[in-house]
Structure 1
Amino acid sequence: MVRDEAVIGCHGVLVIATRGAAGPGEVLVRIRGGSETFLAWSAEPLPVGATVLVIETRGTRQVDVAEWADPLDALPGAAGDAG
């Protein structure tokens, strides 16, 4: 099994919802100067459009993800912040 460790720590957006233990979804990840899709597994079901963080690789084109929110978005003066 070939591990693609470059994807660990990247964030992406789900294009197909995950189903928790019932099965994977699909995530679009910005990596290597472009965008690539991977089968995405998560502990809990996650909806289409959810932003996720890749936390592990399962080998070729399969990753484990967790829901993720950019902590910098909460800072005053961050992009989109009126204050």
Structure 2
Amino acid sequence: MHSDLSPAGRTGVLLVGTRGQRGPGEVLIRIRGGLETFLAWSDTELPKGTTVLVVETRGRRTVDVVAWDASDPSE
């Protein structure tokens, strides 16, 4: 389970696609009773609208994400 204060372990939707190692995108995450945006880095390019899982934080407003399939039965 994740902390109410940490984005790690939460899912969100990319508002701006990531560019892999060339640059971050922006993800919208439900956290602390509202919706907040974070800079989102990923190993591969992910397009706008992709559902992602936050796997790590890089500081206060920056996270690492991977594509997330909400229909995955292992969830």
Give the TM-score of the pair, scaled to structure 1.
0.78
| Aligned-pair Cα RMSD in Å | 1.1
Runs (5+) with no aligned partner, structure 2: none
Whole-angstrom distance in 2 between the partners of 1:68 and 1:32: 21
Match of residue 81 from structure 1: none
| Structure 1: 5+ residue stretches without partners | 73-83
Instruction: Please state how far the C-alpha of 1:53 moved relative to its aligned partner.
Output: 0.2
Count matched residues: 68
Normalising by the residue count of structure 2, what TM-score does the alignment of the two structures yield? 0.87
Question: Residue type of the partner of 1:30?
Answer: R
Q: For the pair shown, which has the larger CA radius of gyration, 1 or 2?
A: 1
**Whose helix fraction is larger, Structure 1's or Structure 2's?**
1
- What is the deviation of 1:60? 1.5
The structure 1 segments of at least 4 consecutive aligned residues displaced by more than 3 Å after TM superposition are none
Offset of 1:32 from its aligned partner? 1.1
